């Protein structure tokens, strides 16, 4: 099983659609979880951290299921500006100085 | 407050040439990281520095060396460039592991 696995997409959705991304991770010792966003030819930027209780930031909702080692990101009312690659990120765990393991990303394209 | 800066933005090298990629952060962060990003491979950690004066190997350290010059600066050196090192290189920093990592704009390196 890969350390962090994501559906590469692309997800092509119309404006206003709701889209969900899923991610699985293999290391049960991972303690922190994030979603990053990367625009074409740009650096990754933190979108949101993911907490066990689930968290919401405007149109974005992140969920974590530790038992299933599964993370999700839901985007409601998609905007053209949401078009990007979304990276699922987990810490390596086990005292590894906080090294992050990045998924390969899921590409989202929002069309008018 | 510039965040994380990287130089150069673009570089073309011939096989066997050497070069140093520079990275600096002005956020007073303790930890700094070097990643490479290749199509279909995601971000992979080359080296990291948990604090000033320390460096450790990441997932793909072969062919690279690093120097944590001071708290602000972390450089990556290619002693003898190879075509397999053609990639986009990102520097990142974080306050405390496993805190959020902030990325620089990247260096696009081509080795012919």
pLDDT, residue A1, reads 65
Which of B65, B87, B69 has the alpha carbon at shortest distance from B24? B69
DSSP class of residue B73 equals B
Strand, helix or coil for residue A80: helix
Strand, helix or coil for residue B83: helix
Q: What is d(CA A84, CA A105) in angstroms, rounded to the nearest whole number?
A: 10
pLDDT, residue B97, reads 58
pLDDT digits (tens, 9 = 90+) for A27-63: 888 888 999 999 999 999 999 999 888 899 999 999 9
Chain A, nearest residue to B4 by Cα: A43
Q: What is d(CA B31, CA B23) in angstroms, rounded to the nearest whole number?
A: 12
User: With bands split at pLDDT 50, 70 and 90, how would you rate the model's confidence at A97?
Assistant: low
Cβ-defined contact of A104 to B42 (cutoff 8 Å): yes
Q: How far does the CA of residue A12 sit from the closest CA of chain B (Å)?
A: 19
Q: What is d(CA B20, CA B79) in angstroms, rounded to the nearest whole number?
A: 8
What sign does the CA torsion over B40, A1, B49, B78 have? Answer: negative
pLDDT digits (tens, 9 = 90+) for B22-37: 999 999 999 999 999 9
Pair type for strands A106-111 and A11-14: parallel
Q: What is d(CA A14, CA A11) in angstroms, rounded to the nearest whole number?
A: 10
Query: Both tokens of residue A27?
Result: 């290391």
Q: Least CB-CB distance to B42: which of A42, A45, A102? A: A102
Lowest mean pLDDT segment, chosen from A37-46, A74-83, B38-47 = B38-47
Cβ-defined contact of A43 to B105 (cutoff 8 Å): yes
Strand, helix or coil for residue A3: coil
């Amino acid at each position: 099983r890969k350390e962090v696995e994501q559906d590469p997409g692309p997800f092509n959705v119309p404006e206003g659609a709701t889209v969900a991304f899923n991610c699985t991770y293999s290391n049960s010792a991972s303690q922190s979880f994030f979603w990053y966003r990367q625009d074409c030819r740009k650096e990754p930027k933190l979108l949101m951290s993911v907490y066990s209780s689930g968290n919401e930031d405007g149109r974005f909702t992140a969920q974590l299921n530790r038992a299933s080692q599964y993370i999700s990101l839901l985007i409601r009312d998609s905007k053209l500006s949401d078009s990007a690659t979304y990276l699922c990120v987990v810490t390596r765990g086990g005292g590894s100085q906080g090294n992050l393991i990045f998924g390969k990303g899921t590409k989202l394209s929002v069309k008018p | 407050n510039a965040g994380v800066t990287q130089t150069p933005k673009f570089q073309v090298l011939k096989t066997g040439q050497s070069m140093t990629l520079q990275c600096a952060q002005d956020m007073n962060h303790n930890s700094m990281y070097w990643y490479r990003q290749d199509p279909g491979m995601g971000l992979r950690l080359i080296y990291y520095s948990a604090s000033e004066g320390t460096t450790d190997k990441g997932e793909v350290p072969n062919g690279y060396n690093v120097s944590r010059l001071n708290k602000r600066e972390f450089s990556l050196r290619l002693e003898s460039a190879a075509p397999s090192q053609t990639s986009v290189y990102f520097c990142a920093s974080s306050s405390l592991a496993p805190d959020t990592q902030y990325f620089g704009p990247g260096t696009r390196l081509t080795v012919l």
